[in-house]
Amino acid sequence: MTDAEKYLKLLEELTGTLDHLNGIASKKLKAVHENDLLGLDECTRQEQALSLSLRSIEKRRETLLKALGLEGIPLSGLAANYPEDLRRQAQQTAENLRRQYDLYSSASTAARSALERGLHDIERMISQQQQQGQQPQQPQQQPPETPPGGMKTDFRA
């Protein structure tokens, strides 16, 4: 496999990662609308894991661009700088990547806006409570459960 083919394969991998991130952004937006903090936390964990994958892809991308002599060439100019037999594939791969990036950007922006609205609502409620002389409500902590009868342990020993 030539470096040019490896680069196209890498761009396809990046497209797949963005597709996965797009799905996570949609789940995140749903979690925000449903006030699902556990779901939101899971989405954040998945995004963090994928960010490591993106770093790896970026390092390989830089290495391949250097090997191909295409440093500084924008994605839109990729096909024009590719070997004739791979130009059509390069054009299609670049278009797919761009489209997936646009979808992810839109979904990510929607999720971020929803989160920001939620945070502003929380800040407003806290401010109103403070103006009324109330302390912000703290989540009530449950007393620790006692073990079933006869299973208590004395730790003083």
In this prediction, residue 141 carries a pLDDT of: 56
Three-state secondary structure along the chain? CCHHHHHHHHHHHHHHHHHHHHHHHHHHHHHHHCCCHHHHHHHHHHHHHHHHHHHHHHHHHHHHHHHHCCCCCCHHHCHHHCCHHHHHHHHHHHHHHHHHHHHHHHHHHHHHHHHHHHHHHHHHHHHHHHHCCCCCCCCCCCCCCCCCCCCCCCCCC
In this prediction, residue 119 carries a pLDDT of: 81
Range 3-131 has CATH code 1.10.10: no
Flag whether pLDDT at 152 surpasses 50: no
Q: Which pair of structure tokens corresponds to residue 90? A: 């390069």
In this prediction, residue 138 carries a pLDDT of: 59
In this prediction, residue 6 carries a pLDDT of: 95
Domain residue spans of the chain: 3-131
In this prediction, residue 139 carries a pLDDT of: 56
- Give the residue-averaged pLDDT of 1-13: 94
- pTM to 2 decimals? 0.73
118-139, pLDDT tens digit by residue?
Answer: 788 778 888 888 888 766 555 5
In this prediction, residue 117 carries a pLDDT of: 86
26-67, pLDDT tens digit by residue?
Answer: 999 898 888 888 998 999 999 999 999 999 999 999 999 999
63-92, pLDDT tens digit by residue?
Answer: 999 999 999 889 999 999 999 999 999 999
